[in-house]
Amino acid sequence: MLIIRPIRSSDLPALMQIAEESGHGFTSLPVNEELLRKKIARVEASFKKKENKPHDEGYLMVLEDTETGDVVGTCGLEAAVGLIDAFYHYRVGTEVYHSEQIDVRNEVETLTLCHDYTGSAELCTLFLQDSYRKNNNGRMLSRSRFLFLAQHAERFGDKVIAEMRGVSDAEGNSSFYGWLQQFFLGINFLKADYLSGLGQKAFMAEMMPRNPVYVCLLPQEAQQVIGEVHPNTLPALKLLQGEGFQCRGYVDIFDGGPTVECELENIRSVKLSRLLTVSIGETAKSSTQYIISNTLLENYRATSAYLSVDVDKTEVVISHKLADALMVNAGDQIRVLAM
């Protein structure tokens, strides 16, 4: 069985392996053992926190194959970004220039550095090993976060965002970043991305252009990738668009990839998930697969299974094996979402 649970300190070797396998553009998991150890400690503290107001908490879960004990994936949520470390984006805008005297009107696209998403919750750190990318495992892993958001909404910002990986080549070089490196930062894309993942962002405030950037003055190859996603990220983008996420004109400052957003209460899976009371026993056959989670925090568990759910009833029968995996007893509640 595949179970999603909070990460713990003993998962450090597995998290290091995931950081190495995830490759370029996975800023939230830099290959740095000390930083990952601190990240796990922060997550453990977040799950234990009693106060429900969102601040600088991070909720990183792992996908464990209970038959082998292997950690084969991750998914994460940030409660409210930018409250401790600055959270930068480019806001895409338009400046209009018009002269009646010469009868000329021009609209020029601009990029303006901003912190507009400060306080928003963030979907992040989604990874699944290649051998497990089958049987809806990736969809279950990604969408399980919406059950957690629905159950613990008070612990997150009202708006939820997700940064989509921008276009880069096989070596991790970004054509959008090229002009920034040449004229402003002076370090390559991989180093800048790595420093950002470490939380060492002072260089951004010191070296990034302070005035709006005119897109028409950028190299053509940089202009072409603004707001575009890496081909490997297209499935994730389509999944989020199906949940109601939209790009509102914000892009990543390094690779130009789009950031999508949706109000937490308007996310499709948040609205469609249901709380049901558990009975444990013989289960009826069903052709409908559900993502299922308990309603706990520190002992949060989620998985997928085929259930017979009656839309007119508030109870559901689950097997003893599933009840044990979810750490629930008869009379407890679970949250379910049809795949």
Active site residues: 230
Q: What are the two backbone dihedrals, phi and then psi, of residue 311, each rounded to the nearest 5 degrees?
A: -65, -20
Please answer whether residues 201 and 151 qualify as being in contact, where contact means their C-beta atoms are separated by less than 8 angstroms. Answer: no
User: How far is 60 from 298, CA to CA, in rounded Å?
Assistant: 12
Beta strands in the chain (DSSP E): 2-6, 58-65, 70-78, 89-99, 104-114, 121-128, 159-163, 213-214, 246-251, 258-263, 274-280, 289-294, 302-306, 315-318, 333-338
Parallel, antiparallel or unpaired: strands 274-280 and 315-318: parallel
Angle at 322 between CA 321 and CA 325, to 5 degrees: 90
User: How far is 196 from 226, CA to CA, in rounded Å?
Assistant: 20
